[in-house]
Chains A and B, each alone.
Chain A
Amino acid sequence: MSTLLNFIHDNLDMFYIVILSIFLGIEVISQVPSVLHTPLMSGANAIHGVIIIGAIIAIGETAPDNYPALIIGFLAVVVGTLNVVGGFVVTDRMLEMFKKRKPTTTKTSHNV
């Protein structure tokens, strides 16, 4: 019990971040139109790719001759980058198409 309390005390700011982020995430997402569910899911997917920073630190702290860890770390950075880069690019591609119809929308609303 005291270990847990100590841990919370030592990482208090982290706990604040976690709790506030939970509320923020809920607040930011409620009431999204279903049109945007796919791009939003894909965009959020890219954001959690920030895990790549952990992969960079993990491999960056590894001893240069520890080949098993280097190889695992290498793989971690590759898949992490896939998540980040692929996620953002694919989301952009989706949203680009939403933009295209804009001129038509304004034109028709003018006519009306």
Chain B
Amino acid sequence: MYNLEASILSVCYLTGSVAFITGLKMLAHPDTARRGNQVAAGGMLIAIIATLVLYRSGGTHLHNYVWIAAALAIGAVIGTTAARKVQMTAMPELVSIFNGMGGLCAALISVIEFEHMAQASPVLHSLIIIAGLVIGSVSFSGSMVAYGKLSGKVKDHTFRGQHSFNLIVLALVLFGIVYLLCRNPGMPGSFVFYTLLALSVSYGVFFVLPIGGADMPVVISLLNACTGVATACGGFLYQNPVMLTGGILVGSAGMILTIIMCKAMNRSLTNVLVGSFGGETSNALPGTEEAHKQISISDAATAMAYAKKIMIVPGYGLAVAQAQNTCHELEKLLIEKGVEVKYAIHPVAGRMPGHMNVLLAEANVSYDLLLDMDQSNGEFSTTDVALILGANDVVNPAAENDPKSPIFGMKILDVGLSKMVVVNKRTMKPGYAGIQNQLFSQPNTNMLFGDAKDVLQKLITEIKGM
């Protein structure tokens, strides 16, 4: 009976691993993505149930089922509620929190296993436990700081010697690891172990704190990969193949995704990690008012109603104002009037790569109106009006012509090529990366101040009245 159960468990784990691989593969293609997510979830369910029912260690089943069931129920209820209730604009924050929870889980497992561990355990067994602790807690605290920054609760912090300070903390972490691995039986272990936990948690905080706003997606992706590695440590610890494949798959996929994102912004990973994007420059020219001209709602409405072709450039300002639906309405109205309307989407518009597409999809904007960066840049020269809704950094010419600018080298949308540019934002304050935008003072640019939703609504009323 025992062998049969063990065999069934192995088959379940195998099924889980295959489901993860298939699911991830399907997630990478638009048509199959949703099904892929469901396949992965199915594999997870099989692996979890099989563990609950069939797992044995030393001939006995698991116990403490009441505790486990209660924890599963609580986690499932909170997780589902949070996932259902979250605003699409706050999606990156939530993904970050969930990632942090995975890291915390890995760290807590290491704490339990360390307490179980006999003094004479093999060195490599200890190494896995300690690696899970360190990677898991860095991922946890890093993700929590990332959450705080994305939701605007935590500001970028840089101080003199930040990088040296981080290196010292890292060195202390490494020292702690070596000490724990090399200590003789009888030497204090617990104290160092928990100090190591505290150090790793603070390393995660100090590591993410200085990283500037626009680089956050890259960091989230990197932390995601870290949690994957922490999961794989758990897989090694329990000799569990499904944890191992799941963890490593996410680890390597996350790493590749991180690199792809860096490429989209034309930045190297080291640059992201060391270069504190925007952090230093945010104070450089805070209130400098550049020369800019404003346009009234009715003038803007006239220009748009009589244009042949309009490009809408949505940014986070649109998302914050929850104006996707109003924007869609304006787009439909203009199309009815015979205007050709398209959306120009920068790959990192929003708070995460691809985030803007999610937001516009939520508002039912037709998919074939959305142009990616290369397509849109080919069409700006034939565009009459480019309407920029709360996008800053992705249209900033400094990326192309100011080598000193922190975003220099990033590809931008060439909105300046269109006959007329209308920029809607609330104030002249610089955008998320904290950089002044020369576009606003260009002769063909007109500023239209106000909340995106409010402004769009007024434009609609105006155009309808014509």
Size range of the chain A interface in the assembly? 35 or more
Check A28–B71 contact: CB distance below 8 A: no
Check B71–A78 contact: CB distance below 8 A: yes
Check A74–B70 contact: CB distance below 8 A: yes
Q: B80-88, B145-153, B199-207, B279-287: which lies at the A interface?
A: B80-88
**A24 contacts which chain B residues (CB < 8 A)?**
21, 249, 252
Give the complex CA separation of A84 and B358 in angstroms.
21
**B6 contacts which chain A residues (CB < 8 A)?**
none
Q: Which residue of the partner chain, among A29, A34, A46, A53, contacts B51 with CB atoms under 8 Å? A: A53
**A12 contacts which chain B residues (CB < 8 A)?**
none
Give the complex CA separation of A13 and B250 in angstroms.
19
Q: Which residue of the partner chain, among B76, B112, B122, contacts A3 with CB atoms under 8 Å? A: B122
Check B28–A40 contact: CB distance below 8 A: yes
Check A82–B79 contact: CB distance below 8 A: yes
Q: Which residue of A lies closest to B61 (CB)?
A: A60
User: From residue 31 to 73 of chain A, which have CB atoms closer than 8 A to chain B?
Assistant: 31-62, 64, 68-70, 72-73
Q: Is the interface of B mostly helix, strand, loop or mixed?
A: helix
Which B residues lie at the A interface, using CB under 8 A? Answer: 16, 20-21, 23-25, 27-30, 33-34, 36-38, 40-41, 44, 47-48, 51-52, 55, 57, 61-65, 67-68, 70-72, 74-76, 78-80, 82-84, 86, 88, 91-92, 94-95, 98-99, 101-102, 104-106, 108-109, 111-113, 115-116, 122-124, 217, 220-221, 224, 227-228, 230-232, 234-257, 260-261, 264, 347, 352-355, 357-358, 361-362, 364-368, 372
Q: Which residue of A lies closest to B240 (CB)?
A: A53
**B20 contacts which chain A residues (CB < 8 A)?**
47, 50
Check B361–A98 contact: CB distance below 8 A: yes
**B61 contacts which chain A residues (CB < 8 A)?**
60
Give the complex CA separation of A48 and B389 in angstroms.
36
Check A36–B354 contact: CB distance below 8 A: yes
**A51 contacts which chain B residues (CB < 8 A)?**
102, 105-106, 109, 227, 230-231, 234, 243, 247
**B34 contacts which chain A residues (CB < 8 A)?**
92, 95-96, 98-99
Check B98–A86 contact: CB distance below 8 A: yes
Q: Can you add 11 more A-B contacts, CB < 8 Å, to A47-B246, A77-B71? A: A3-B123, A21-B249, A45-B98, A73-B64, A82-B79, A84-B79, A90-B95, A92-B38, A92-B41, A98-B33, A108-B368
Check B237–A54 contact: CB distance below 8 A: yes
Check A38–B37 contact: CB distance below 8 A: no
Which A residues lie at the B interface, using CB under 8 A? Answer: 3-4, 7, 11, 14, 17-18, 21-26, 28-62, 64, 68-70, 72-102, 104-105, 108-109
Q: Nearest 9 pairs between A and B by C-beta?
A: A81-B75, A60-B62, A25-B252, A86-B79, A77-B71, A85-B79, A89-B83, A54-B234, A21-B248
Check A34–B354 contact: CB distance below 8 A: yes
Check A14–B98 contact: CB distance below 8 A: no
Q: Which residue of the partner chain, among A18, A72, A77, A96, contacts B248 with CB atoms under 8 Å? A: A18
Q: Which residue of the partner chain, among B62, B105, B353, contacts A80 with CB atoms under 8 Å? A: B105
